[in-house]
A = this chain, B = another copy of it.
Amino acid sequence: MKRVMLRVAYDGTEYCGWQRQPNGITVEGILNSRLSALLGEDIEVIGASRTDAGVHARGNVCVFDTKSRIPGEKLAHALNPSLPEDITVQESCEVAADFHPRHCDCNKTYEYQIYNATFPDPLLRRYSHFLYRPLDVSAMQQAAKYLVGEHDFKSFCSVNTQVNETVRRVNYLEVLEGGIRPYGFGATGETSDGIMPRLITIRINGNGFLYNMVRIIAGTLIEVGYHKRTPKSLAESLAACDRKAAGATAPACGLTLLEIQYGKTSMFQ
C-alpha cells in the first residue's frame, strides 16, 4: 500500500465544484471513478481544497492509497488518457503514508481575474469576471494592503459554513493591471468609448482560506474600485467580524486555485 499525491488542473466551468455530491458531476467524482477503473480498486481521493462550482484550478492537490505497482510518478501518465479534456493531472508522486493534504501546514495561492472593458471578450469569458465600468485599480491596491497579515477574516467568510477558528494569515495580496493588446480601429487602440481594455488580476497567498473568502475579498475590492467603499474602510470591515461588513461574493468563473505549497518534510517524511 502506498499513498500517491496528484496535482490536478481543471476548467471548472462544467463542474459542480470539487466535492463529490449525489446530484451533479464533480472533479472528485470523476477522479474517483477513473482511478478506480484504472487500478481495479475502490479509490477515494482526499482533496486539499474543495473548490466551488465553476472555480478553476492549475494546482489543486489530492492523495489516495493504492496497492498498485505503477510507480507514483507514472500515475499521471497512466491516468490522463482516461480523463475528460477539462481535467488533467499535471504531476504525481508518492508521499508519506500519513500525509494528509488538509491537515498539514501549507500556503495556497489563488488568482481572481477581472476583464474590465467596454464589451466582453469571448476568449477570456470562461476564466474572468467581466465588468464594463472602469475600476480604480489604484484604490483597490491601497485597500488590499489592509488585508495582508494575520487577521480574523470572519467578515470575509460565507455565513453558509461553520468554522470555529476564523483567523488566517494572508502573506501577500496584489492587484495587478495587465494591458490587453489593443486591436481597435483607432491608432491608440482605444475603443470608441475611449476605454482601454485591461485584465485586472487579484493574486492572494495565505496559510488558509475560509469558505468563499477569496471571492468575498474580490467582491469587496471591486466595490472599492467603484468608490462604494474607501480603501481605509477595509480595516473596519475586518474589525466588524460580520459578513455584512464586507462586499458581495464575486462570481466563481474569475477564480483559479494556482498552487498549494507544502513543506517538503511534511510530504515525504
Q: Which residues of A come within 8 Å of B, CB atoms?
A: 5, 7, 9-11, 56, 58-59, 73, 76, 80, 85-93, 118-123, 125-127, 181, 183-185, 191-192, 256, 258-259, 267
| Contact yes or no, B258 A181, CB < 8 A | yes
Query: In this complex, which of A58, A119, A126, A183 has the most chain B Cβ atoms within 10 angstroms of its Cβ?
Result: A183
- Candidates B76, B125, B185; contact of A11 at CB < 8 Å: B125
Q: CA–CA, A10 to B124, complex, Å?
A: 10
3 tightest Cβ-Cβ pairs between the two chains A and B: A59-B183, A11-B122, A183-B259
> Chain B residues near A10 (CB, 8 Å)?
122
| Contact yes or no, B119 A76, CB < 8 A | yes
> Chain B residues near A191 (CB, 8 Å)?
90-91
How many copies of this chain does one complex carry? 2
> Chain B residues near A56 (CB, 8 Å)?
122-123
| Contact yes or no, B185 A91, CB < 8 A | yes
CB distance from A63 to the nearest CB of B (A): 12
> Chain B residues near A58 (CB, 8 Å)?
121, 123, 183
| Contact yes or no, B7 A90, CB < 8 A | no
> Chain B residues near A184 (CB, 8 Å)?
7, 90-91
By beta carbon, the residue of chain B nearest A190 is B91
CB distance from A3 to the nearest CB of B (A): 14
A-B contact pairs, 17 of them (CB 8 A): A9-B123, A10-B122, A11-B122, A11-B123, A56-B123, A58-B183, A73-B192, A76-B119, A85-B120, A85-B125, A88-B119, A90-B119, A90-B121, A91-B184, A91-B191, A91-B192, A181-B258
Q: CA–CA, A120 to B10, complex, Å?
A: 10
Q: CA–CA, A126 to B56, complex, Å?
A: 15
> Chain B residues near A5 (CB, 8 Å)?
185
Q: CA–CA, A169 to B195, complex, Å?
A: 33
| Contact yes or no, B9 A80, CB < 8 A | no
Q: CA–CA, A120 to B76, complex, Å?
A: 12
CB distance from A169 to the nearest CB of B (A): 21
CB distance from A58 to the nearest CB of B (A): 5
